[in-house]
Amino acid sequence: MFNSAEATAEKTMLDMLDIFDETPPNKSPSPQNARGHRKEIRYKVAWRVAVLVGGLNPYYGRVKDISLDGAAILNELNLKCGASVVLNIHIPALNGSCDSKIMSVHGKTIYTVYDADRMCFRVGVTFVRFEQESDRAYLAERLINNHIAVPDYVCRRSTDQTIVPR
């Protein structure tokens, strides 16, 4: 339990920040709003990530899926749309012959929803800039050759065809 001084300090710190969304999770915009804008294939991963917001201490989570243009992050933050973030993504080694890699990517949040199945927030981040330009090519090669593509279902009616990325 917090004493009143700790609670006041924590509240003051959060009041100073305009990066956290006060919108209740059930009122947050749906991630489907961003679906029509996807240009790249998404891949299912479970990589660790440190999310840096506003130069503060990192918050840790997992990358749920990723493409060359963005990622869905699972963590404890209810971030506002448009918040600038830096993702330090830990890409694990595939085997003992190569090292794991930390890839830093600057991005902006495009949605935050509460994921009741995982009891955390799912934050959509669009990539703005890779710290190392070579990281984009590394990510493309790694995803295409070693990970499962996630189908992007736009609509599910019996007359629709399922489109599976190649």
Query: In a structure prediction context, what are the per-residue pLDDT tens digits for the chain, which is 166 residues long?
Result: 445 444 444 443 444 344 444 444 444 444 444 444 557 899 999 999 999 998 788 999 999 999 999 999 999 989 889 999 999 999 999 886 678 999 999 999 999 999 898 899 999 999 999 999 999 999 999 999 988 888 765 333 344 444 444 4
Q: Which amino acid is at 103?
A: M
Specify the pLDDT at position 38. 57
**Residue 97 tokens, joined:** 């012959």
The pLDDT value recorded for residue 68 is 96
Query: Which one-letter amino acid corresponds to residue 102?
Result: I
**C-alpha distances in Å from residue 152, one per residue of 31, 134, 166:** 12, 27, 12
Q: Is the separation of the CB atoms in 115 and 131 below 8 Å?
A: no
DSSP assignment of 54-102 equals: TT---EEEEEEEE-SSEEEEEES--BPTT-EEEEEEEE--SSTTS--EE
Does residue 112 contact residue 125 with C-beta atoms inside 8 Å? no
Residue 20: the pLDDT is 46
> Left if phi > 0, otherwise alpha if psi is -120 to 50, otherwise beta: which for 71?
beta
Sign of CA dihedral 139, 140, 144, 148: positive
Q: Nearest Cα to 49, choosing from 9, 90, 79?
A: 90
Q: What's the predicted TM-score (pTM) here? A: 0.70
* pLDDT of amino acid 28: 43
What is the rounded distance in angstroms from the CA atom of residue 64 to the CA atom of residue 40? 16
Q: Which CATH superfamily is domain 13-26+39-150 in?
A: predicted glycosyltransferase like domains (2.40.10.220)
What is the pLDDT at residue 30? 44
The pLDDT, as a whole number, for residue 162 is: 44
